[in-house]
Every structure is written in C-alpha cells, then in structure tokens.
C-alpha cells in the first residue's frame, strides 16, 4: 500500500495542506515546531484512527477551528484506495474507507500496516508494563483480527468485573454468580490472548536479535522475556484463589492485563544496565523487527515513519538504518529532520530514491 497523496485540514498546526508523495522515501525537513511531526501523525492517524501522540481527539483540531479532516489517497497494486478521517467538535469521529463508513473502527486496523519510530519510544524502556503490553497488542492487532477482537472483549469484561467489585465494596454485599459471569469472560478471552502473546514473542525475538546484531556489530547478546501470571497456573484457579485480595482492593489484581515484556541485555534488565547507545539500538531493532514480522505474516509492506531520531544517532548508525529501511524490503518511508541537507545527502550517496519537502508553519514546499 503506497500513500500517493496526503490532504490535511485543520489538524494541529496545519491549516491546509495537499501534498504528492514519493513511492520510496519522503523527507519532511525544517526547524522544530514547524509541523513535521504533525504530518507524520496525520499519516499514523489514517492507519490507526487515532493520534500517536495525543489520544484526546478534540485536542488535535487546530486552535479554535470547528473540525479537522485527513484524507489519504493510496495505491494498492492497480487499485486506488481512499481513507477519510474527520472530527467535528462535540460529535463522533468518522472514518471511511473508499467512502464507506466503519461501524467499528477496529475493522480498519491492519488495512494499512504502519510502524512509527519516535523519541517517545524510550518510554517503552523507562516506564511501566502498560506501554510494553500496548507494544505487543499494536503489532499483533495489525495482522490478527481475532486477537484484536479478543483484546476488546477482554478489556470490556475486565471493566465490568472491576465495576462489580467496587459495587460490592460500596454496598457491603457480594454476589458470586454475577462475578462468575465476568470471570468466565476473562478466562475465555484472556487464555487465548496469553497463547497469542507467547507465540508472538517466540516468533519476534529472533528477528529482533538479528537487527540488534546488525546495528550493534554484535557487541552483546539481547533477549526478550514474556512475563505473565498465566505462565504456570490455570487462569480460573488464579481468579478463584485470589478473590479475597480482589475484594479487598476493589479491582482485578490478576490476569493478562498484568503481563510484561522484559528487555534484557545479557541476563540483565536493559532499563538499569543498558547505556543510552544500547537503549537506542534496542528500540530501533524492536521497530525494525515489528515491520518485518508484520510484512511476513500479512504479506503487506509496512509504511515506516521515522520522527527526528537522527539527532540521537551517530552518522554510521544513521547510514545503517537508512540502508536497512531503504533496501526495498520495507514499504514507503517518511522521515523528519531539522537539517535540510543531512538526510538527502545520505540518501543520494546510497542511491535511494526520495523526495524532500521543507515544512514551515504547517506548509510544505519542495527542497
């Protein structure tokens, strides 16, 4: 799937923009604060029906304008495809694929596979387990519709169960039959999610290790460890045996919503013992592996968004990354940078086709 043209209206700092795009590499260049990242976020929005940076949709509308509209004009083989995302203040978001509205936005996920690399990715390492669970969920959901349906059903059941536990505490009562209904839902969907996540980590880890070795020149060993309360115990038994704790705390303490993915360098946690350079390489390898796995399973090339990561890399590693993503195995590439010449120079040296735009005040001009 190739994004041939992007149309943006009242999205963040961009009043109006219509831009034709290269099938290979597109560079959005200019000073910080001019709107480069916002254009990447618009492309991300067209794949995931949400912003990468701000989950509150209304805050993505430009200033006091009443709405925003994003349109992506894609080409898949000989077919032209159009994605529309629009939001009016106080109204429900509208997403259309070839002019047909979705009843469930989840049905759009995976149609246009996409991977984003951003300075914010360091949060995967330094913050809690929720971000790492979302990392897994975001990958698998792009190629496995059943996984996404199970995840939505699990989260719905978890919310109902937590509300019920809180109600028991507030009203000083307990209804075992009502709770069992949601326990059954958690066990049904949670057990399937556990197996899917375990399989994902098994398939993903060697691909990740391959890219880390390439980027780091094989200086150290790395691995991923899937941590789940379901690894050694039946889920239903886990809920039954810990019911007293759930009643005391008024929420569900056990389940796949507590899963984590450990990032290890050698046998040690990356968060505590990895240098900044090792952490950067780790994150790049994770995202490259994400793109390759999605491509392998879905048979769709992935759109790659690289946001201002080159200020954090030395020139050698920057060239390595551009060579990897520009070798034709991945799909279309979008890159932002503060320098007007740095990325175009490397792409020219590596004989990679590209188109470069200067972004200023949310507007784009050819470099």
Mean pLDDT, residues 221-227 taken together:
96
The answer, yes or no, to whether residue 313 has pLDDT greater than 90, is no
Give, in degrees to the nearest 5, the angle at Cα 28 between 23 and 34.
Answer: 150
Task: Assign 176 a pLDDT band (cuts: 50, 70, 90).
Answer: confident
pLDDT at 316 over 80: no
- Specify the pTM: 0.90
Q: What is the pLDDT of residue 312?
A: 67
- Contact between 14 and 38 (Cβ < 8 Å): yes
pLDDT at 126: 93
CATH number of the domain at 1-113+300-367, please? 3.40.50.300
Q: In what order do the strands lie in the sheet with 94-97?
A: 14-20, 2-11, 67-76, 79-88, 94-97, 100-101
Using the predicted structure, report yes or no on whether residue 277 has a pLDDT greater than 90: no
* Span 124-297 CATH architecture: Up-down Bundle (1.20)
> Once rounded to an integer, what is the mean pLDDT over residues 16-34?
94
More reliable by pLDDT, 33 or 219? 33
Task: Summarize the confidence of residues 110-114 as an average pLDDT.
Answer: 94
pLDDT in tens, 177-186: 899 999 999 9
Q: Which two three-digit tokens encode residue 260?
A: 């984590």
Alpha-carbon gap, residue 69 to 11, rounded angstroms? 7
CB 354 within 8 A of CB 317: no
Spell out the domain ranges in the chain. Answer: 1-113+300-367, 124-297
Q: Which residues pair with residue 363 across a beta bridge?
A: 360
Tens digit of pLDDT for each residue in 347-360? 898 888 899 999 99
**Is 90 exceeded by the pLDDT of residue 11?**
yes
CA–CA distance, 99 with 330 (Å, rounded to integer)? 28
- Given a cut of 80, whether residue 328 has pLDDT beyond it is no
Per-residue pLDDT at 276 exceeds 90: no
pLDDT, residue 219, reads: 74
Average pLDDT, the chain: 92
pLDDT at 165: 94
């Amino acid at each position: 799937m190739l994004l041939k043209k992007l149309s943006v209206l009242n999205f963040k700092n961009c009043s109006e923009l219509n831009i034709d795009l290269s099938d290979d590499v597109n560079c959005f260049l200019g000073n910080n604060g001019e709107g480069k990242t916002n254009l990447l976020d618009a492309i991300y929005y067209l794949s995931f029906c949400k912003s990468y940076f701000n989950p509150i949709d209304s805050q993505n509308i430009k200033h006091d304008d009443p709405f925003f509209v994003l349109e992506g004009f894609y080409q898949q083989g000989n077919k032209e495809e159009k994605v529309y995302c629009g939001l009016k203040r106080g109204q429900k978001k509208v997403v259309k694929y070839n002019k047909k509205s979705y009843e469930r936005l989840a049905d759009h996920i995976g149609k246009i596979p996409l991977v984003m690399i951003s300075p914010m990715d360091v949060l995967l390492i330094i913050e809690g387990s929720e971000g790492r669970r979302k990392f897994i969920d975001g990958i698998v959901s792009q190629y496995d519709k059943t996984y996404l349906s199970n995840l939505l059903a699990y989260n719905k059941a978890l919310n109902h169960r937590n509300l019920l536990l809180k109600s028991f505490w507030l009203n000083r009562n307990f209804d075992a039959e009502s709770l069992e209904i949601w326990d059954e839902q958690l066990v049904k969907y949670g057990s399937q999610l556990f197996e899917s996540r375990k399989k994902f980590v098994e398939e993903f880890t060697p691909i990740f290790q391959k890219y880390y070795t390439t980027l780091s020149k094989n200086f150290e060993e790395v691995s991923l460890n899937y941590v789940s309360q379901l690894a050694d115990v039946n889920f239903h038994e886990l809920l039954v045996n810990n019911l007293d704790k759930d009643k005391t705390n008024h929420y569900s303490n056990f389940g796949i919503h507590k899963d984590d993915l450990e990032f290890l360098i050698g046998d040690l946690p990356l968060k505590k013992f990895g240098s900044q350079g090792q952490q950067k390489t780790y994150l790049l390898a994770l995202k490259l592996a994400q793109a390759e796995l999605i491509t392998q399973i879905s048979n769709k090339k992935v759109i790659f968004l690289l946001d201002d990561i080159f200020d954090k890399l030395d020139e050698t590693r920057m060239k390595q990354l551009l060579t990897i993503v520009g070798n034709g195995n991945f799909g279309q590439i979008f890159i932002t940078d503060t320098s007007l010449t740095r990325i175009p120079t490397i792409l020219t040296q590596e004989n990679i086709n590209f188109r470069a735009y200067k972004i200023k005040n949310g507007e784009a001009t050819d470099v």
